[in-house]
């Protein structure tokens, strides 16, 4: 492999700001620093400097920070320039740096180099992106826990146990006369069970983490005029959807992002479900049905002044018995899947919010943040694959008594688990993960 080239990017968000940061990483960093600043700054010291162009004209003045390899974010020579946060001045500076032997960095390329140089693992790299993208305090805290290595540590511990078990199993397989004894060995069974139990704990935590990170899609549906748009506005705390007593007002799909206890929810308001007469409303109904199919949670709004009897709810459905303010006898029994609510007065909102979280499987106590780390769909899939292989290994051990099969399933389980932290990951996967980062990170 040839030594990596030198990359540079503006690391601060576009627009105007007090400062703007440019980051440079790679083998040409020292030479670029000398030409741009006149000298190589003292390592890890904030040094005031002029950033000069080819004619020695000062492009900007600011702080230069030099981090020689391997003690830098990427593990390479890194120079960070803190200048003024203006689009033109930063562009001029970047152009000069590229003239001097760097090339523009791709999205996520700094983090990718940090990963390739073993500065961080894949979970931590993803946590950086999640921290930057976090939209609630809880999500940000959870991302920070992953970045500090909490998630990775639990995966690594499990991996160690799995590797130990594999060594034990494989060494016995080399001596066929011992295989029978080994398969009857209770210690092996117990060790395997302990790994399975531990994995289950990680899976549960990761589900919480994914909820905080990626959120849920909540789709509001129901008959025209039931109060769907009013419910969207109530949940969002704003007047984003048009509310009227004319049935068929909402024809398009409206989206709002909200949070309940820090869990991000993508709320979708849809056209009322009915036999629509005009083509635009028909299209609205078609889109509503498409959204409903993709919903994690369905909120079916029912006008309590019209429909008193509720149909059976689907497992991911909450029936919202709306306009309860207009109903005289509020004591009417509602099934567990239903919530009585008034989108007009707000009565019942808190119960609905709790029910949404409950259905989502979010069971952290309000304010509790320890032990919660962010996770992604990819992690959950790898954990599930690991669990599947461990189950097959258990079968091979206890039912089929097939040592070779068990050994193979344990190997596959280890591979799946290693994908999470990136010890065993394809280039395709890496490319996909880092391309979703922002430039300069």
Ligand X SMILES: Nc1nc2c(ncn2[C@@H]2O[C@H](COP(=O)(O)OP(=O)(O)O)[C@@H](O)[C@H]2O)c(=O)[nH]1
Nearest to Mg ion of 250, 421 (CB atom): 250
Residues 166-205: x/- map of binding to ligand X (CB under 6 A)? Answer: ----------------------------------------
Q: Which residue has the tokens 């989108």?
A: 343
Count of residues near ligand X by CB under 6 A: 21
What are the DSSP calls for 14-67, one per residue? SS-EEEEEEEEESTTHHHHHHHHHSSPPPBT--EEEEEE-TTS-EEEEEEEEEE
Least distance CB 267 / ligand X (angstroms): 13
Helices (H), 176-276: 179-183, 186-214, 228-236
Contacted by 125, from Mg ion, ligand X, none: CB < 5 to 8 Å by type = none
17-25 and 78-85 strand pairing: antiparallel
Does the protein bind ligand X through residue 245 (CB under 6 A)?
A: yes
Does the protein bind ligand X through residue 299 (CB under 6 A)?
A: no
Does the protein bind ligand X through residue 238 (CB under 6 A)?
A: no
Q: How many C-beta atoms surround the C-beta of residue 287 within 10 A?
A: 16
Nearest to ligand X of 127, 226 (CB atom): 226
Contacted by 226, from Mg ion, ligand X, none: CB < 5 to 8 Å by type = ligand X
7-10 and 103-104 strand pairing: parallel
Give the burial class of 367: count Cβ atoms within 10 A of its Cβ; 0-12 exposed, 13-18 middle, 19 or more buried: exposed
Among 82, 208, 230, 386, which residue sits at the site for ligand X (rule: CB under 6 A)? 230
Least distance CB 249 / ligand X (angstroms): 5
Angle in degrees, CA 256, 259, 265, rounded to 5: 55
Does the protein bind ligand X through residue 228 (CB under 6 A)?
A: yes
Does the protein bind ligand X through residue 229 (CB under 6 A)?
A: yes
Nearest to ligand X of 233, 374 (CB atom): 233
Q: Which residues pair with 21 in a beta bridge?
A: 82
Q: Footprint of Mg ion on residues 208-237 (CB under 5 A)?
A: 228-229
Among 25, 29, 111, 250, which residue sits at the site for ligand X (rule: CB under 6 A)? 250
Phi (first) and psi of residue 253, to 5 degrees: -95, 125
Stretch near ligand X under the rule CB under 6 A, chosen from 92-100, 227-235, 386-394, 401-409: 227-235
Q: Footprint of ligand X on residues 316-335 (CB under 6 A)?
A: 322-323, 325-326
Phi (first) and psi of residue 10, to 5 degrees: -75, 125
With a CB cutoff of 8 Å and minimum separation 6, the contacts of 358 are none
Among 226, 295, 360, 393, which residue sits at the site for ligand X (rule: CB under 6 A)? 226
Contacted by 204, from ligand X, Mg ion, none: CB < 5 to 8 Å by type = none
Give CA–CA dist 21/80, Å, rounded.
Answer: 7
The interaxial angle of helices 150-173 and 186-214, nearest 10 deg, is 150
User: Residues interacting with ligand X, by CB under 6 A?
Assistant: 224-230, 243-245, 249-250, 272, 301, 322-323, 325-326, 342-344
């Amino acid at each position: 492999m040839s030594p990596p080239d030198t990359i540079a990017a503006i690391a601060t968000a576009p627009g105007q700001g007090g400062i703007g940061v440019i980051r440079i990483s790679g083998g040409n960093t020292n030479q670029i620093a000398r030409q741009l600043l006149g000298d190589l700054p003292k390592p890890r010291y904030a040094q005031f400097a002029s950033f000069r162009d080819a004619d020695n004209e000062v492009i900007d003045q600011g702080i230069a920070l030099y981090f020689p390899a391997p003690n830098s974010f990427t593990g390479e020579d890194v120079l960070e320039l803190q200048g003024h946060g203006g689009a033109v001045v930063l562009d001029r500076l970047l152009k000069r740096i590229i003239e001097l032997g760097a090339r523009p960095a791709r999205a996520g390329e700094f983090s990718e180099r940090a990963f390739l140089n073993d500065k961080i693992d894949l979970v931590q790299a993803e946590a950086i992106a999640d921290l930057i993208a976090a939209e609630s305090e809880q999500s940000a805290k959870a991302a920070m826990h992953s970045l500090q290595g909490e998630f990775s540590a639990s995966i690594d511990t499990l991996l160690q146990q799995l590797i130990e078990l594999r060594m034990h199993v494989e060494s016995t397989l080399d001596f066929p006369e011992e295989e029978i004894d080994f398969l009857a060995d209770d210690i092996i069974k117990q060790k395997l069970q302990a790994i399975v139990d531990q994995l289950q704990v990680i899976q549960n935590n990761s589900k919480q983490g994914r909820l905080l990170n990626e959120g849920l899609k909540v789709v509001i549906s129901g008959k025209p005029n039931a109060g769907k748009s009013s419910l969207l506005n109530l949940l969002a705390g704003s007047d984003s959807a048009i509310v009227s007593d004319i049935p068929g007002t909402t024809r398009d799909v409206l989206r709002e992002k909200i949070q309940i206890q820090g869990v991000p929810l993508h709320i979708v308001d849809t056209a009322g479900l009915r036999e629509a007469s005009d083509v635009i409303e028909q299209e609205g109904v078609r889109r509503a049905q498409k959204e409903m199919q993709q919903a994690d949670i369905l909120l079916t709004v029912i006008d309590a002044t019209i429909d008193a009897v509720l149909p059976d709810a689907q497992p991911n459905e909450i029936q919202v018995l709306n306009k309860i303010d207009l109903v005289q006898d509020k004591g009417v029994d509602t099934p567990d899947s239903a919530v009585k609510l008034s989108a007009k007065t707000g009565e019942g909102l808190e119960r609905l919010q709790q029910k949404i979280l409950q259905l989502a499987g979010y069971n952290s106590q309000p304010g509790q943040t320890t032990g919660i780390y962010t996770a992604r769909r990819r992690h959950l899939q790898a954990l599930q694959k690991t669990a599947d292989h461990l189950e097959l290994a258990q079968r091979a051990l206890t039912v089929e008594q097939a040592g070779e099969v068990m050994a193979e399933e344990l190997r596959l389980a280890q591979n799946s688990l290693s994908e999470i932290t990136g010890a065993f990951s394809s280039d395709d996967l890496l490319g996909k993960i880092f391309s979703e980062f922002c430039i300069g990170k």
